[in-house]
Structure 1
Amino acid sequence: MIRTDLWHVGVVKAPMARIVAAGTLEGFDTLWLPPEGSLRFIADPFGLWKDGLLHIFVEAYDYRTRHGAIELLILDENLALVERGPVLREPWHLSYPFIFEADGETWMLPEAHKSGRLTLYRATRFPWRWQPEERFLFPEAAIDATPVRTDRGWWIFYTPPAPKPWRTSALKLARADDLLGPWEPCGDAPVLLDKGGARMGGTPIRRGETLLLPTQDCRRTYGGAISIREMRWRDAAAPSFEAGPHIVAPHAFHPHVDGLHTLSQAGPVTLVDAKRTVRSFRHLAIRCAQALGLAVSPGPPRRPMPRPGA
């Protein structure tokens, strides 16, 4: 309970394909977003360029509330932060805001397994307003659901929330002809059981006939590194996976070198999050108060957002 993971989001100035080909983040220039302050972090970055601006959607988490919400940071073409604000909050925890475009719409598929279901959101006024798409019905709650469009329809790779050990070791797959479904699981059993690389951790990319899946290596710690799993993308009926590059937080990320659990492409840049693990007696006191049912005050207001040229 003393150990506290603090994540930090960075923008790597290289496309994801180059990083995967290199098998390392060493030597790549990385711009870090502003720190969050005491007992807060942002993580799970996914990005989309629109009108010359990079929209980065993240999980924003505060240990005092133990509740995640989705926030947006907007960067200009020079990667200067120009705007930030909340975009989605629910009574349940939200994270992993997978952003994508399809059928003339912009969609978000955040992790929300504590709600008991997987919910797809459609942007009604991008990037600030989103509403649930009620026609989307998925067969079960899902952790870190990651959609992929192919010439044979749609797949979603995801981790089931139960049994609990599977949350860091199991990968399941579902398919549909259309994004809104109906969705059918590809069997009852996971297509991959491997604590070293089954839970999704970013955006899949193609290399010829191969689909490269960023997954989390959770053997040493949750989100310890990114393991690329290679799969022939036409073989969904009987998927098999080969181990690809194993990507860790490089020394240049110091002090955030204790884990890496997102690798997502955003055109010419790649978004990552890395963590440092600290010992926090303040966090321990908060956890004890929460266990006793005592109220915990929210954290202090975030520092003013820097503006270009400030």
Structure 2
Amino acid sequence: MQAFLSRLKGLVFKSNRPRREKVHGKWSIGIFTGTSPFDLSADDSASNPVIRAADVTDGQANFVADPFMVHEGETWYLFFEVDMIRPEGNIGKIGLASSPDGFAWTYVGIVLEAPYHLSYPYVFKHGDDYFMIPETRADRSVHLYRATDFPLRWAHAKTLLAGRRFADTSIFRHDDRWWLFTDSGNTTLRLFGAAELGGPWKEHPRSPLIRKNPSIARPGGRVVTHDGQLIRFAQDCYHHYGDKVWGFSISELTRKTYREEKCPQPVLQASGAGWNRSGMHTVDPHLLADGRWIACVDGFGDGGAR
């Protein structure tokens, strides 16, 4: 009887696990536009994907993904993960592309690399300086970089957090205070706060905000403000990694409280064909002067074959 119960328990446990789909393809980067961060779609002005692995000229790339962009002067700058192929094993580096209009992009080159894998280059401006927090979970840390010669040269400024495999750290400013979301294992969303960018950073009393939920835990893009509310984006990794992206309206964020509401429809999802046929997992929306939104996104599919 005991042996039977043990087998039964194992069967029940397995039935509650997420169903992992096997999907094949590569990541590439596109441009979407829309009326809000929740309403984005492909724009005819952009020949998606705008950046492919084949566009990388300073090495052989397996894929490009995790795009973030900023607008400085008359130029858009796009930063993204480049998965470089090496005999000893692929490694992630941070690449750069530029555009005069946000739609037609030219690859520039690798601007940041380390002895370990880099991805998710969350770039932002504070005061007169540009900063970047790339994902460095292979180093079990969150590192802050500052541009010494924007956009080409970056120097390590400070280590903000250490001791965990922090993934896809997303930083933002709210009520004169710094906050950041970060994930561990695609299932656990943590929230940290600090009075100053350099810290010290302390975990929020409600953190972890999400436990053991691969559908909504891992950050999936820049935290933005829309209609007076903060919006966070989350990757849905339930069926497979990078399946789709959900949006959440943050209704309350203080040093002691946190509340959010999930958008009823995915912000990004697989198209079923082409460069993003099987998934999408990063979005970086920006409000334009005419009231439209433009966003760099990534998609998993044919890798941008043309």
State the TM bucket, normalised to the shorter chain.
0.7 to 0.9
**CA separation in 1, counterparts of 2:228 and 2:102?**
34
RMSD over aligned Cα, in angstroms? 2.5
The equivalent residue for 2:216 is 197
Q: Aligned pair 1:60/2:60, yes or no?
A: no
Q: Aligned pair 1:270/2:295, yes or no?
A: yes
Judge which range, 24-33 or 234-243, deviates more.
24-33
The equivalent residue for 2:262 is 243
The equivalent residue for 1:176 is 194
**Higher relative contact order (CA closer than 8 Å, sequence separation 6+):** 1
The equivalent residue for 2:50 is 33
**CA separation in 2, counterparts of 1:147 and 1:170?**
17
TM-score under structure 1 normalisation?
Answer: 0.78
The equivalent residue for 2:26 is 6
Identity, in percent, stands at 25
**CA separation in 2, counterparts of 1:82 and 1:219?**
34
| Cα distance change of structure 1 residues 189 and 177 upon mapping to structure 2, 3 Å threshold | closer
The equivalent residue for 2:160 is 137
**CA separation in 2, counterparts of 1:159 and 1:251?**
26
**CA separation in 1, counterparts of 2:163 and 2:249?**
25
Q: Secondary structure at the match of 1:222?
A: coil
**CA separation in 1, counterparts of 2:113 and 2:43?**
37
Gaps of 5+ in 2: 1-21, 55-59, 289-293
8 Å Cα contact 1:45/1:96 also seen in 2: yes
**CA separation in 2, counterparts of 1:185 and 1:133?**
21
8 Å Cα contact 1:13/1:28 also seen in 2: no
* Structure 1 residue 230 displacement after superposition: 2.1
* Structure 1 residue 152 displacement after superposition: 3.5
8 Å Cα contact 1:197/1:229 also seen in 2: no
Within the candidate set 268, 279, 283, 1:259 is matched to 279
Q: Match for 1:122: what amino acid?
A: R
The equivalent residue for 1:147 is 171
Q: How do residues 35-184 of structure 1 correspond to structure 2 at under 5 angstroms?
A: 35-37=52-54, 40-64=62-86, 65-77=89-101, 79-134=103-158, 136-141=159-164, 142-160=166-184, 167-184=185-202
* Structure 1 residue 151 displacement after superposition: 1.8
* Structure 1 residue 192 displacement after superposition: 1.4
Q: How many residues of Structure 1 are paired with residues of Structure 2 in the alignment?
A: 266
TM-score under structure 2 normalisation?
Answer: 0.78
* Structure 1 residue 19 displacement after superposition: 4.2
8 Å Cα contact 2:123/2:131 also seen in 1: yes
